[in-house]
Structure 1
Amino acid sequence: MGEYIVHVVDDEEPVRKSIAFLLSTCGFPVRMHDSATAFLDMARNIRNGCLVTDLRMADMSGVELLQKLRALPVRIPAIVITGHGDVPMAVEAMKAGAVDFIEKPFEDKVLIEAVERAAEELSKGVSGHDVAGIKARLELLTEREREILTSVVAGLPNKTIAYDLDISPRTVEVHRANVMAKMDARSLPELVRMTIAAGYTEK
C-alpha cells in the first residue's frame, strides 16, 4: 500500500495536537482538522487516508460525521475516540461505518494498533472478518451468554445487566468472560466489530 494520511478530527486543540504528535512520532503522516465541518469540506479529495475522530464535538457528533461521509459518498476507514459512558454511541458509529472505537483514557499502543488495522483495511478494501467463523462461534453461545452479549454490545454496564437479568454482577462477569473467550475477542471494540460483521441483531 502506498503512503496514506491519518486525518485527526477533534475540536479540542490540546487533544488534537497530542494525537497528531503521537502518530507522527510513529511514522504516520498526519493532517489535523479543528472540526468535523472543516474535515467534510475537503473529504471528497481524500484518496488514501484514514480518519481518527472524537465522538463528541461542538458542530456535529462523530456518528453524524460518518453518516455524512457515507452520503457523499466517501470511503475512509474511521476510528472513533469515545468517553467511558459513550459506548452505545460508539456502537452506533461502528454501524455507521467506523472500523473501531477507543475508550478514553487509552494507552498509546491501542491507538497505534487501531490505525494500523485501519490501514490494513484500506489496503485490502475489505473488512477482513471471517464472517462464517464468527457465526459459527456465535452458535456456541448458550442462551444466557447470548443475552449477555446483546447487553454488552449495547454498552450496558455489568450492574445494569445483572439487574435486568435478575442475576448477580459476579455471574455477569463470568458469563461475559465466557463470551469473550468463545468469540475469541480480545476487547469490547473487537467484539462489537465481530457482531456487526456477522449481522448479529438479536434483541
Structure 2
Amino acid sequence: MGERVNSSGEIHIVDDDPAVLDALSMVFTLEGFQVTGFVDCHSFLSAARSHPPACIILDVNMPDRSGLDILKELNAENYPAPIFIISGQGDIPMAVDAIKSGALDFFEKPFDADVVVSRVRQAIDANARRAASGSENGLAKEFPGHTSLTPREREVLAQIAAGASNKEAGRHLGISPRTIEVHRARIMEKLGARNAADLVRIVLSPGHGH
C-alpha cells in the first residue's frame, strides 16, 4: 500500500528519558497512532526532514542540543506538522521561547495522558482544516505590520479579531489558552496595539478595499 500508510496518524516522540519515551509511545500506540521514538536529535532530524509525521512531541531539554535548536533547524514556523514541547516546571520560560520559535504548544511534566492525547488530536485536526482551507481565516491580506507576524500569529489574530476568547481560540487552533495569551502579547507588541480593541482597529484598516 506504499510508504504513506498511516502517515496521517504517525507521531514522532523525541525524549532522552527512556521511561517517558516508553510511556508516551505506549499511550499513543493504544490510541491507534503509529509511533516512532527517538532518544537523540540526529536520527530524529533526519527522519523529520525526509518524511514529516502528523505530529511531533519533543523534549525541550535534550543532552546534545536544546529543543530550541531543533526547532530552528526544522524551521518550525513553516514545518507542515504541529510540534509540541515537553517541559519540566523549571523549563517554562524555555517552553515559551519554543512557542516563539514555532512550536505549537507545550506539555508540562508530570502530564495527564488523556489530556496529551486529546490535545494532539485537536492539533492534528486543526492542521488538517488549515491545509484544506488554505485561507488566512478572513483576515485582510494587508494591514499595518502584517509582514512582521508569523503564520500562526496571523491565525491567532484572526481568532481575536473575530471576538473569540482565549479558550475558544485555543480550541479552534488546538492549543492551550495560556499559549494563546503568549501569542496575543507578541502580536500586540509587534503591531503597537494597547488592547484587543486596538488590535481589531489595526486589522480592519486594510491597505486597500472597502
Q: TM-score, normalised by structure 1?
A: 0.66
Partner of residue 134 from structure 1, selected from 150, 157, 160:
160
Contact 1:129 1:194 in 2 (8 A): no
Structure 2 alignment gaps of length 5 or more: 1-5, 135-151, 195-210
Establish whether residue 105 from structure 1 lines up as the match of residue 110 from structure 2: yes
Establish whether residue 24 from structure 1 lines up as the match of residue 12 from structure 2: no
Secondary structure at the counterpart of residue 50 of structure 2: coil
> Residues 122 and 132 from structure 1, CA distance in 2 versus in 1: closer, same or farther, beyond 3 angstroms?
closer
Aligned residue for 2:208?
none
Partner Cα separation in structure 2 for residue 135 and residue 122 of structure 1: 20
Contact 1:44 1:74 in 2 (8 A): no
Aligned residue for 2:127?
122
Partner of residue 83 from structure 2, selected from 78, 81, 85:
78
Partner Cα separation in structure 2 for residue 93 and residue 100 of structure 1: 8
> Residues 189 and 200 from structure 1, CA distance in 2 versus in 1: closer, same or farther, beyond 3 angstroms?
farther
Q: Deviations over 1:97-145 (max 9, x none)?
A: 111101111111121022112212331237594524425769xxxxxxx
Partner Cα separation in structure 1 for residue 177 and residue 103 of structure 2: 12
Partner Cα separation in structure 2 for residue 61 and residue 130 of structure 1: 26
Partner of residue 92 from structure 2, selected from 76, 87, 97:
87
Map 1:1-203; keep pairs closer than 5 Å: 3-70=8-75, 74-123=79-128, 124-125=130-131, 129=155, 131-134=157-160, 183-184=166-167, 189-196=176-183, 199-201=187-189
Contact 1:78 1:98 in 2 (8 A): yes
Q: Deviations over 1:170-203 (max 9, x none)?
A: xxxxxxxxxxxx6447899422234416713389
Q: TM-score, normalised by structure 2?
A: 0.64
Secondary structure at the counterpart of residue 51 of structure 2: coil
Partner Cα separation in structure 1 for residue 91 and residue 60 of structure 2: 8
> Residues 18 and 196 from structure 1, CA distance in 2 versus in 1: closer, same or farther, beyond 3 angstroms?
same
Contact 2:86 2:107 in 1 (8 A): yes
- The alpha carbon displacement at 1:49 in A equals 2.2
Partner Cα separation in structure 2 for residue 28 and residue 200 of structure 1: 38
Contact 1:79 1:114 in 2 (8 A): no
- The alpha carbon displacement at 1:8 in A equals 0.4
Contact 2:156 2:180 in 1 (8 A): no
Secondary structure at the counterpart of residue 8 of structure 2: coil
Contact 1:99 1:193 in 2 (8 A): no
Contact 1:52 1:80 in 2 (8 A): yes
Partner Cα separation in structure 1 for residue 14 and residue 7 of structure 2: 22
AA matched with 1:190: P
Partner Cα separation in structure 2 for residue 135 and residue 33 of structure 1: 40
